[in-house]
Structure 1
Amino acid sequence: MRNPSPQILKIAVVGPESTGKSTMSSYLAKYYNTVWVPEFARKYCEKLTQPPIWQDEVNMFYGQVALEDELLPQANSLLICDTTFITVKIWSEYTFGKSPQEVLDELPKRPYDLYLLLNIDLPWEEDPLRDFPLLREHFMEVWYKELNALNANYKVISGSGPERYANAVKAVDEFLISDLK
């Protein structure tokens, strides 16, 4: 299923912690002269004084969706999304053993045209909001599972520095060319 705003293609930059999603999203938005949707959960969690509870996960879902909807009209032909609310599903299932029903209901309704799954081949960078330096392989497998379950169009992006950026641009350019056919 394609996204409901076919005039704007949605590119989601996803992956485990510390894979450079925000940096990549910013880079791609600048490269393609468009806007990018930041990760809502980051700012939300910065304000928390305790670990997120169930309601926080639901709030992060609604916040991510609202932020994306708010920025969509500002995009040129591409909207770059720094992660998606699938992250809420992944963290909720890991932490609470289940996902909010709102997330499950919305997944098939809000597809992305291309996912760039950032590989875990970058070194871990410490950050107060990152919790799982030893579970990167586990969460990479979870991302494969989630994207395959959605029958998503995705490319794994590897490399470091300029090579990683070039690989992402190549994946997006190949997608754009194939989308024109």
Structure 2
Amino acid sequence: NPMDHFDLLPEEVRPYFIYRIALLGPESSGKSHLAKELAAHFNTKYVEEYGRTYCERFGMDLEPLDFAHIAGGQLYREDEMARQANRVLFCDTDLLVTQVWSEIYFKGHCQPWIMWANHLRRYDLFLLLKPDIPWKNDGLRAYEQQRSRMFERLLNELTARRLPHIVVSGDFEARTRQAIEAVEAVVSSSSRQYRL
């Protein structure tokens, strides 16, 4: 198992062997908080949600091309952080979330390359955060009423595509505990396929 000797692997190949864990969920479901907690617990890096950074810089009046920039920025940041990760990389969102947001914004439309890239990316586990904590308006969030609908849409997609996932719920402490247990189970499993 290459992960038993991770420190001996050349830095150039490490990104191909790390475990990638994607955190998904609707607005204000605790993704960013949980990504930071998990990265600290596993002594590794996490990828911030690029869509948030983009909207803070350019505003919320989005066009389809903005979603292309957001998707590309998310992929770029993920690949950059994979070079720095210590065995596990936590991704605060992925292209499935970008696709669903695009469909909400543009009445079912998403650029085909985003959907294509979404299907090509591989993650070892998806942590789907249930919207059962209070919604918090931070100035960028605007879809409190869409939280349940978005959660169901993400769950249906993960289930239909048979992607490895668990639903994380409860308060922040319970979410962190559930996520750590799930990630430890994945990392300790011996039935992993590598993405070479």
Question: For 1:66, what is the secondary structure of its paired residue?
Answer: helix
State the alpha-carbon separation in 2 of the partners of residues 50 and 161 from structure 1: 28
State the alpha-carbon separation in 2 of the partners of residues 84 and 179 from structure 1: 25
Q: Map 1:123-162 onto structure 2 (within 5 A).
A: 123-162=134-173
- How far apart are 1:179 and its partner, in Å? 4.1
Question: For 2:22, what is the secondary structure of its paired residue?
Answer: strand
Asked if 1:8 is matched to 2:18, the reply is yes
Asked if 1:165 is matched to 2:176, the reply is yes
Moved over 6 A (4+): none
Distance verdict in 2 for CA 1:33–1:106, change over 3 Å: same
- Provide structure 2 residue ranges, at least 5 long, that are not aligned to the other structure: 1-14
Q: Map 1:27-46 onto structure 2 (within 5 A).
A: 27-46=37-56
Computed over aligned residues only, the root mean square deviation of the Cα atoms, in angstroms, reads 1.5
Normalising by the residue count of structure 1, what TM-score does the alignment of the two structures yield? 0.92
- Provide structure 1 residue ranges, at least 5 long, that are not aligned to the other structure: none
Aligned pairs, number: 177
Is contact 2:95-2:117 (8 Å) kept?
Answer: no
Q: Map 1:109-124 onto structure 2 (within 5 A).
A: 109-124=120-135
In the alignment, what sits opposite 1:62?
72
- Indicate the structure (1 or 2) with the bigger Cα radius of gyration: 2
State the alpha-carbon separation in 2 of the partners of residues 34 and 99 from structure 1: 32
Give deviations 1:9-37, integer Å, cap 9, x for gaps: 10001101101000000000010000000
In the alignment, what sits opposite 1:83?
93
State the alpha-carbon separation in 1 of the partners of residues 59 and 85 from structure 2: 34
State the alpha-carbon separation in 1 of the partners of residues 28 and 80 from structure 2: 26
Give deviations 1:61-83, integer Å, cap 9, x for gaps: 10000111111110111011001
Distance verdict in 2 for CA 1:34–1:135, change over 3 Å: same
Question: For 2:135, what is the secondary structure of its paired residue?
Answer: coil
